[in-house]
Structures are given as structure tokens and as C-alpha cells.
């Protein structure tokens, strides 16, 4: 009843924003993030996807077996969350909103139940082994048949708690599969448990019958213990590898203290928070939205959002971001962005997208998961038929060994476990991974192409000189340019706006500058910004951008130049001094040592590009490139067989970032929701590029190790099981150890990037 009421609450449109976002590609649809309970393998993910797609109104479905997370696109005109959530409950699973406040507690309870099942299996296994030992170590005739029979009965009694308590997860999952004519990796395991228990029970009840020669309670309890140990450790490892994602997704508070019109503070739900509200944030609390500090000073922790590990000082006039933690002082914050508009929400969207994506290697394994499981059942049946004339009891135990040892758990975990571990470690280091496939692709690149402005240079410029046409003052030209520039996020635009604000502040005319606005503003990637300003009562169309865009002269010198023009032609040229990032030369050297070719493509003048490239240590540099020129250059290198990574600021490099084999967007000014990059370097430091590249190679190496191990394990153990040389307990141990080895090997990648990667 409580579950049903909870589902009904989720049908309220006001609740959707808590776990869903409007779907951009399908008008009127919502995209919901959920966590699934009860799934264990790739076959479970396929079953869930099929069940959800069968619901009218549900469109795209993505489920990752390793992270247990899913994304469901649905139409509110045709369905409601409660309907598609119930559709998976019919198959024995449970869908929970990804931000559910009780999700962590439920995972803790699941882990506690697993420990209890493991403890019961361990205790009973030890007792059963104690009763089985005399039969193994004594000679025939040393123990009377009555004593042997008594020991069998004692073992049977001790096996009952194992079968009816410890085996519950496997048996429940298998029964669910049989009822719905599905198959998962629990089905062969559960069949093995049931067959072993039934055969051994018959041998206990009828010691003179065809199955009375030997019982296998010791094997049963041992492989149940081994399987539960492996599953419990996998559960722990999965929670650890997904730790960075969980830490980011659950950073927002449930409620905030808002200043009411009477000046008093009132506790309200975060869902009622709106732009313009003033909230009070105490030490130890998380920020609920992006905003401006109105009172107080403190230090904030933005490590999981920007990769900046040191606390950052914030005081009156500084901006703070949602999801960061207030460390030391009480502050009052005026909210400027809430919900999906915050940078935090964009980060969450990127991380959820990465946790749901499936690399090509994992897709291949998923595609073959169900056919492989069906093949296991057929091979097991064939082995039982082959051995039956010789010894029915032995035939059934051979079938059990085949069922258990061939279960492809390790194979299905090999790729996603490693990828998720790496993505989590990179996220803690300030590198967001949009697609797990990109980690695989990055390991194979041989060429890195850099944009210049805001990438090899700092995104803060200083206006070094202003050239104007006759009759136009420098102050007037700067004011017009700044009015256009304030509508752009490009580093050059921000520099012009900052310079104009500083001069206006010194002259006391800041309010006049900020009151001016431009109409019909549009920005052309790689060219500039255009708009209409009102000057002396008349509308004046202006263009701000490259010399070619403004049909402006080019002045001698190495400074970056940006021009302003109207319908009559050139008005002004601004020379901007830029500073090469101090870490850029070391990064270029480190990339060369890794065997990579380095190039620079920029839309700036060739002289400025060549100077920066020379300072960094890159020989191949090309200037005056439009976005189309950059894309064509990348495609030309790809046609020659090169694997290309593109590093840009993410603002005007959309086509080339999308066209490269792997792409990086650098800097905190990147509009994350529109970025085409595979990786976003949140901290704005180029060092993270080298660390990510090294981590990708480590990831691919460990994925290959996992796949090779899983393949060798199955190739070696299947013949042994078919020949009857592999007892059931050894099959259970092998299966558990193979899965555990894969997860432990992947866990090596969950170490923080900075601590495991040499500095550039």
C-alpha cells in the first residue's frame, strides 16, 4: 500500500522535475532518471528494456547493468510514471527515482540482508563440511552405514536454511524468469542449486536408490557461500565505483531557509525555491542554487563540481554554485539560477548520460547474453543425457557444474565495471565523461589538435590598444563593442565587456553602460556577434568579430585582434594581449612523450597563432581557420588513418568537436548543455588532459585483461565440467572468483586520477 501511494505521488506533474527533465529531441516528452532494484546482469537490463518499451507512451529506454541506472523517455499524454514503474514490478524489479532520499537507506538494507544470507551460508557450510569430512578421510567400512546415514540427515537439516534463506535471491529471480519466459544469469545458477539439493535429498531419503551412492550437501553449501561472497563483494565494489556519481547527484539539500517579506527566515522545500529568493546557508550545508553572496564570508568546497580540491574563499559580491558545500561561515545568497538552469543540473545530466551509455564492447556482450545463457542450458541438458546411462546422480552433478561454471557473469562485468570505475575517478578529478565509449576511443588516438584562444591561452585578455576610424573615440567604440559582447560567452567578448565595465566604473557611468542593450543579437561560430544598437535615436546595425567578418584592416603585431564595423564599414580594431597558460608547455611535452602528434588550429591571425604555438612547443600551427576549415582539416587527417582528439573551449568549436574521434571542452565557461565534447575539463586545467589520456589507456588495458581472463576461464572450465572432473563446489568457487577478479581488477581504476597519474 505504501509503495502504491508513493507511485501515485509521482504522477503529480509538480514532482516530475525532481527526477525528470523535458526531453529536447521530442516535444512534450519527459526524460526520467531512475535506479532499478533487483537486477544483477546484462540479461536483466535487456528484460527491463523490453518491459518498459512495451508500455504505450514510453519511447527511448537506456539501462546500464553495471550502474543499475536507467533513462526513460515518456509522453505525459499517453502514460504516467506510476504506469511504467509498475510494468517492471511485474517482472520482479523495482524502479525508484534516481534522487530518492531513501535510496541510500534501501541499498544499506540490501547489503545487510546479503550479509545475513552470507553468514547463514558460511555457518551451515562449516557444519556440513564437518559432517562430510569423516566420509572423505576414512577407509570403507570404518564408519557404519547407520552413522553415515545419520551424518547425511544432519547435513540435510543444515542445508535447509541455506536453500530457503540464503538462496532466496537466486531462486526468486529464477522463478520470475520462468513465469515470464525470460532468462537471466540467475536461472542456471538456481537450477544448479535446486538440482543439487533435490538429488542429495533423494539420496538421503532413499540411500539404496539410484541417487543414494553419494550426497552433495557440502558442494551445495560451499558454492552458495562462494556465490554469495562474490555477489556481496560485487555490491560493495559497485557502490564504490559509482561513488562519485552518487556524491554529485545527491548534493542538493531537501529544504532551505528563505527570507520572507517580513524579514524572518522560513524553512521551505527546495522545489519551491525561485530566482530572486534570498536564502541563508549555514556551515556544513550545500548550496541549493547558483547565486550571489549578499552577506557574510566563508570558504566553499567545489571539488566534485570543478575538480578544485582546495577550499575557495567567497565573500560579498562573489558567486557560488549549486551543489558546492559551505565550509566555515554563514552566508546569505540571492538565487540567480535554480533547477535545470544551474551548472550543477548540467553536470548531473552529463554524469547520468555517461553512467547509462554502453561502450561497443559492452553492447556486444549484452547482445549475446541471452543466446549464450540459452546455449548453457542446452549444453547442460546434453551433458546430463550423455552421462545418464553411466550414473544418473553423476550425470545430474555434471549438468550442475556446467550450469554454474559457464555463467557469463565475469564477461558481462568486464567492460562496464572498468569504464564506470574510470569515469568515477575522473569525475572526482574534475573531468566529466559524456560517453563511456570515448574512454575506449581516447586510448587509440595518435593526434591531438588544440584551439588557441581560451585553450592554450588563458581566457582572460587585456585590451592593449584600440584603433578607430576618424570621428569615433576609443571610449565610444569600446562602449558599442561591449554592448554587443555582453551577449556572448567567448573569452574575447568577456574581455571587452570587462574592460568597458572597469572604465565606466572609474568614470562613474557604470549604470549608463549596463542600461544599454542590443536588439536582434546573433552569433556566428568562428566569426563574431551582430546586433542592432540605438545610437542618437536611430538603429545602427553593428558587427563584432574577426577582420574578415567585419571587413577590417589587419594591424602588424602578435596581439589578438577583434574588429567592430557597421553598414558604412570598419569602425575600430581592439588589440588584446593574451597569456599562454603556464602549464601548456609541460602538457605539450608530456603528450609528445606519450607518442602523440600535436597541432594547433585557430581562427585568429597566423602571426598570433604561430607565436603562441612556439611558446608552447608545437611546430604545426595554422591560423585564420573558420569552423568549417577546422572540420575539413580534421577530416583530412582522419582520411590518412589518424585518430584525432580535439581540444577546444566548447563555445564555437561545435562542428569540429563533434567531428573528431574524441573531443575535450576546457574551461568553466562552457555551456555544458550544448557542449559537443566527449570530456569536459571542469577545472580548466590542461594537466587533466594528460591524466585523462593516461587513464584511458589504463582502462582499455584492464578491459582487455578482464575479457581475456573471462574467456580463458570459460575455455578452461567448460571442458573440465563436461568431462565430470569439476565438482559443483569448485564450479561455484570458479564462478565467484572470476567475477570477483574482474571487479577487483576494475577497481584499480577507481583511484583518484591525481594520485595515480604522473604530473605533466
Q: Which residues are catalytic?
A: 451
535: β partners: 538
C-alpha cell belonging to residue 706: 578482464
Check if the beta carbon of residue 544 is closer than 8 Å to that of residue 526: no
Handedness of CA 361, 713, 241, 698 (dihedral sign): negative
Where do we find the cell 527546495? 270
Element (H, E) at 83: helix 81-89
> What is the three-state SS of 692-742?
HHHHHHHHHHHHHHHHHHHHHHHHHHHHHHHCCCCCHHHHHHHHHHHHHHH
The 10 Å Cβ neighbour count of residue 171 is: 18
Classified as helix, coil or strand, 425 is helix
- Report CA-CA distances (Å) from 245 to 94, 260, 266, 753: 20, 34, 31, 15
Q: Which residues lie closer than 8 Å to 41 by C-beta, 6 or more apart?
A: 65, 184, 185, 186, 369, 409, 412
Strands annotated E in 296-356: 298-301, 312-314, 319-320, 325-326, 331-337
Nearest to 598 by CA among 642, 656, 658: 642
Where do we find the cell 550571489? 292
Check if the beta carbon of residue 700 is closer than 8 Å to that of residue 443: yes
- Rounded CA-CA distance 64/35 in Å is 10
- By DSSP bridging, strand 560-566 and strand 569-577 are antiparallel
- By DSSP bridging, strand 319-320 and strand 290-295 are antiparallel
C-alpha cell belonging to residue 151: 551424518
- Rounded CA-CA distance 11/624 in Å is 54
The 10 Å Cβ neighbour count of residue 318 is: 15
Check if the beta carbon of residue 367 is closer than 8 Å to that of residue 325: no
- Rounded CA-CA distance 678/675 in Å is 9
DSSP letter assigned to residue 364: H
Q: Which residues lie closer than 8 Å to 452 by C-beta, 6 or more apart?
A: 600, 602, 604, 608, 609, 612, 613
Nearest to 326 by CA among 285, 372, 358, 267: 285
C-alpha cell belonging to residue 456: 592554450
Check if the beta carbon of residue 725 is closer than 8 Å to that of residue 685: no
- Report CA-CA distances (Å) from 292 to 63, 344, 514, 590, 728: 38, 15, 18, 39, 64
Q: Which residues of 360-379 are buried (b: 16+ CB within 10 A; e: fewer)?
A: ebbeebbeebbebbeebbeb
The 10 Å Cβ neighbour count of residue 292 is: 15
Nearest to 672 by CA among 356, 358, 341, 438: 341
What number of CA atoms fall less than 13 Å from residue 51's CA on the CB side? Answer: 26
- Rounded CA-CA distance 446/18 in Å is 42
Amino acid at each position: 500500500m505504501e509503495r502504491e501511494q508513493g507511485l501515485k505521488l509521482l504522477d503529480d506533474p509538480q514532482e516530475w522535475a525532481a527526477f525528470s527533465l523535458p526531453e529536447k529531441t521530442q516535444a512534450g516528452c519527459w526524460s526520467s532518471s531512475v535506479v532499478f532494484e533487483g537486477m544483477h546482469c546484462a540479461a536483466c537490463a535487456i528484460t527491463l528494456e523490453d518491459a518498459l518499451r512495451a508500455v504505450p507512451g514510453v519511447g527511448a529506454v537506456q539501462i546500464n547493468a553495471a550502474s543499475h541506472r536507467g533513462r526513460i523517455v515518456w509522453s505525459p499524454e499517453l502514460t504516467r510514471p506510476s504506469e511504467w514503474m509498475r510494468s517492471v514490478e511485474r517482472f520482479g524489479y523495482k524502479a525508484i527515482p534516481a534522487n530518492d532520499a531513501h535510496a541510500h537507506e534501501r541499498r544499506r538494507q540490501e547489503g545487510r540482508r546479503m550479509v545475513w544470507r552470507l553468514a547463514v551460508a558460511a555457518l551451515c557450510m562449516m557444519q556440513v563440511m564437518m559432517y562430510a569430512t569423516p566420509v572423505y578421510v576414512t577407509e570403507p567400512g570404518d564408519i557404519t552405514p547407520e552413522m553415515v546415514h545419520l551424518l547425511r540427515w544432519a547435513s540435510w537439516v543444515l542445508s535447509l536454511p541455506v536453500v530457503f534463506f540464503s538462496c532466496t535471491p537466486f531462486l526468486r529471480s529464477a522463478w520470475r524468469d520462468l513465469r515470464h519466459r525470460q532468462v537471466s544469469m540467475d536461472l542456471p545458477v538456481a537450477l544448479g542449486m535446486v538440482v543439487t539439493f533435490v538429488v542429495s535429498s533423494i539420496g538421503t531419503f532413499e540411500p539404496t536408490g539410484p541417487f543414494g551412492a553419494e550426497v552433495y550437501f557440502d558442494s551445495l553449501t560451499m558454492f552458495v557461500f562462494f556465490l554469495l561472497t562474490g555477489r556481496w563483494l560485487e555490491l560493495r565494489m559497485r557502490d564504490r565505483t559509482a561513488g562519485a556519481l552518487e556524491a554529485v547527484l545527491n548534493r542538493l539539500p531537501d529544504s532551505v531557509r528563505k527570507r520572507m517579506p517580513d524579514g524572518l527566515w522560513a524553512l521551505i522545500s527546495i522545489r519551491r525555491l525561485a530566482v530572486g529568493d534570498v536564502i541563508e546557508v549555514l556551515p556544513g550545508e550545500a548550496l541549493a542554487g547558483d547565486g550571489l553572496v549578499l552577506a557574510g564570508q566563508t570558504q566553499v568546497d567545489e571539488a566534485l563540481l570543478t575538480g578544485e580540491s582546495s577550499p575557495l574563499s567567497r565573500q560579498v559580491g562573489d558567486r557560488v554554485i549549486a551543489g558546492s558545500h559551505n565550509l566555515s561561515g554563514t552566508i546569505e545568497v540571492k538565487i540567480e539560477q535554480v533547477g535545470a538552469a544551474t551548472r550543477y543540473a548540467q553536470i548531473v545530466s552529463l554524469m547520468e548520460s555517461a553512467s547509462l551509455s554502453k561502450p561497443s564492447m559492452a553492447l556486444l556482450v549484452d547482445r549475446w547474453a541471452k543466446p549464450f545463457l540459452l546455449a548453457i542450458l542446452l549444453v547442460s541438458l546434453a551433458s546430463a543425457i550423455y552421462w545418464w546411462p553411466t550414473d544418473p546422480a553423476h550425470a545430474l552433478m555434471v549438468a550442475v557444474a556446467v550450469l554454474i561454471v559457464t555463467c557469463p557473469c565475469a564477461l558481462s562485468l568486464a567492460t562496464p565495471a572498468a569504464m564506470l570505475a574510470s569515469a568515477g575517478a575522473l569525475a572526482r578529478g574534475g573531468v566529466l565523461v559524456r560517453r563511456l565509449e570515448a574512454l575506449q576511443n581516447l586510448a587509440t588516438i595518435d593526434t591531438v589538435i588544440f584551439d588557441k584562444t581560451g585553450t592554450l591561452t588563458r581566457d582572460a585578455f587585456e585590451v592593449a590598444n584600440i584603433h578607430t576610424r576618424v570621428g569615433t573615440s576609443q571610449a565610444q567604440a569600446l562602449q558599442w563593442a561591449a554592448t554587443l559582447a555582453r551577449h556572448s560567452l567567448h573569452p574575447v567578448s568577456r574581455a571587452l565587456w570587462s574592460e568597458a565595465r572597469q572604465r565606466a566604473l572609474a568614470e562613474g557611468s557604470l549604470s549608463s553602460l549596463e542600461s544599454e542593450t542590443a536588439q536582434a543579437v546573433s552569433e556566428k561560430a568562428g566569426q563574431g556577434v551582430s546586433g542592432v544598437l540605438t545610437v542618437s535615436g536611430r538603429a545602427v546595425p553593428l558587427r563584432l568579430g574577426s577582420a574578415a567578418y567585419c571587413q577590417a584592416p589587419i594591424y602588424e603585431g602578435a596581439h589578438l585582434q577583434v574588429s567592430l564595423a557597421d553598414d558604412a564599414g570598419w569602425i575600430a580594431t581592439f588589440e588584446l594581449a593574451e597569456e599562454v597558460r603556464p602549464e601548456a608547455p609541460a602538457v605539450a611535452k608530456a603528450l609528445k612523450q606519450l607518442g602523440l602528434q600535436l597541432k594547433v588550429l585557430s581562427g585568429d591571425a597566423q602571426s598570433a597563432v604561430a607565436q603562441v604555438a612556439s611558446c608552447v612547443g608545437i611546430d604545426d600551427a595554422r591560423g585564420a581557420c573558420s569552423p568549417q576549415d577546422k572540420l575539413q582539416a580534421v577530416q583530412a587527417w582522419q582520411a590518412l588513418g589518424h585518430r584525432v582528439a580535439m581540444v577546444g573551449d566548447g563555445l564555437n568549436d561545435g562542428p569540429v568537436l563533434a567531428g573528431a574521434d574524441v573531443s575535450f571542452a576546457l574551461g568553466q565557461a562552457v555551456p555544458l548543455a550544448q557542449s559537443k565534447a566527449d570530456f569536459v575539463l571542469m577545472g580548466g586545467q590542461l594537466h587533466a588532459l594528460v591524466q585523462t589520456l593516461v587513464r584511458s589507456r589504463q582502462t582499455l588495458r584492464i578491459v582487455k585483461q578482464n575479457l581475456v581472463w573471462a574467456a580463458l576461464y570459460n575455455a578452461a572450465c567448460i571442458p573440465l565440467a563436461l568431462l565430470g572432473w569439476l565438482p559443483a563446489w569448485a564450479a561455484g568457487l570458479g564462478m565467484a572468483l572470476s567475477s570477483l577478479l574482474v571487479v577487483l581488477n576494475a577497481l584499480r581504476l577507481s583511484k583518484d586520477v591525481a594520485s595515480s597519474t604522473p604530473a605533466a
